[in-house]
Amino acid sequence: MTPLQRYIAEEIATDHLDGLLTRREALRRLGLLGIGATAAAALIAACGEAQQSGPAASPSAAAETAPPPGADGALPTTAVSWPGPGGELRGAWSAAPEPRGAVLVIHENKGLTDHIRSVAGRFAGIGYSALAIDLLSAQGGTPAFADQAAATAALSKIEPSQFVADLRSGIEELQRRVPGRKVAAVGFCMGGGLVWRLLAAGTPELAAAVPFYGPAPDAPDFGGSRNVAVLAFYGALDQRVNASEPVARAALERAGMVHELITEPDANHAFFNDTGDRYHAAAAADAWRRIQDWFATHLA
C-alpha cells in the first residue's frame, strides 16, 4: 500500500469510527482501494485504538446557518482545459476583475467537487484569480465516476510524480492567464498533502503555499522552495494528520522558510469544507481571515 493509499484508507476508517459512514459503506470503500475484508477490519480496529488515546471529536458545526467565509462575494467559475504533461488537463477557472495575484486550488480526495469550485470563486471574489485543477483529468475527469468513493479510489492509484507534474502545469497555466502576478497554491486534505509535495519537489514559481490539514511526506527537504511563504492549518482534533506537523515544521525551519502553522481549537479534519459533517464555522472564518492577511503580505 502506498502512503497515499494508506492515508485514504485511514480516513475512511476514521470516518466510520466518527459515525460518518456505516461499517458496510466503509468496507465497500476500502474494497475499492483493494483492501480485503479481514485487512479492512484490522485497519478499522487499529484506527479505533489510536482514537481512544486522543481527544474526543467535537459535535459537527455543519448546521450553523451563517454563509461560509467568502461565499457572499464569490465569483462564478467556468470549465477550462489546457495541454498538460500527459494530455489534456481540466479545471474550474474564476477570474478576478483586477487580479492582485493567482491561486492554484488543489482538491480533496473526492475530486473536483462543487465545493472546491466555490473556493476558487471565493478567491476571485477577494481579488485573486483562481484555477481549481481536476487531478482526475487523465481518467476522464471527476464527473466520469459514479460516486465520490470511486473517484477517491482512482486518485489513490495515481503516482505522486504525476500529481506534481500536473500541478506544475496548473501553475504554468495560471502564469499564462495572470501574467506578471505572483502565484500561490492552496490545498485541502489530500490536496494539502500535495502542497507539501510541491514544496518538497522544489517549486520556486510559488510565492505562497497554504496546506489545509495535509499530511507531510516522510523526511521532506524544502530547500528548493525556500522562498515560498507557508501558512499551514490543522484541526486540534485531527490527531491522524497532526502527527506529521512536527515533520513539516522541522523541514520548514531547516530550509529557513517564512512560515506559520496554525492549529484551530475544537476543529477536526476538513473543518473548512462547509458541505461536510466536520465543518467548523469559527475555524473556517479564522482561516479565511488569516489567508487574506497572508496573501496581502506575500502574494499581492
Same domain, 83 and 47: no
Question: Final residue of a domain: which of 38, 53, 68?
Answer: 53
Instruction: Give percent of the chain with pLDDT exceeding 90.
Output: 91
Question: Quick check: 66 pLDDT over 50?
Answer: yes
Same domain, 124 and 39: no
15 lies in a domain? Answer: yes
- Residue-wise pLDDT for 45-59, tens only, equals 999 887 765 554 444
Same domain, 254 and 116: yes
Across 96-100, average pLDDT: 97
Same domain, 138 and 219: yes
> Quick check: 92 and 112 in contact, CB under 8 A?
yes
Position 186 scores a pLDDT of 98
- Residue-wise pLDDT for 193-245, tens only, equals 999 999 999 999 999 999 999 999 999 999 999 999 999 999 999 999 999 99
Position 4 scores a pLDDT of 87
62 lies in a domain? Answer: no
- Residue-wise pLDDT for 16-46, tens only, equals 999 999 999 999 999 999 999 999 999 999 9
Q: How far apart are CA 264 and CA 276, in angstroms?
A: 17
CATH code at 223? 3.40.50.1820
Q: How far apart are CA 129 and CA 104, in angstroms?
A: 9
Same domain, 111 and 10: no
**Bridge partners for 235 per DSSP:** 264
Position 174 confidence tier, pLDDT thresholds 50, 70, 90: very high
Which amino acid belongs to residue 125? G
Same domain, 141 and 187: yes
Q: How far is CA 177 from CA 117, 183, 203, in A?
A: 18, 11, 19
Same domain, 29 and 125: no
> Quick check: 60 and 277 in contact, CB under 8 A?
yes
The total of structural domains in the chain comes to 2
Question: Quick check: 294 pLDDT over 60?
Answer: yes
First to last CA, the chain: 41
Full residue range of the structural domain in which residue 15 is found: 3-53
68 lies in a domain? Answer: no
Question: Quick check: 276 pLDDT over 60?
Answer: yes
Same domain, 91 and 27: no
Please count the CA atoms within 13 angstroms of the CA of 55 that sit on its side-chain side. 14
Same domain, 112 and 26: no
Same domain, 188 and 141: yes
Q: Which residues contact 101 (CB under 8 A, 6 or more apart)?
A: 127, 128, 129, 178, 181, 182, 183, 184, 207, 295, 299, 300
231 lies in a domain? Answer: yes
- Burial group, residue 75, by CB count within 10 angstroms (0-12, 13-18, 19+): middle
Q: What are phi and psi of 166, to 5 degrees?
A: -65, -40
- Burial group, residue 219, by CB count within 10 angstroms (0-12, 13-18, 19+): exposed
Same domain, 9 and 47: yes
CB atoms within 10 A of CB 210: 25
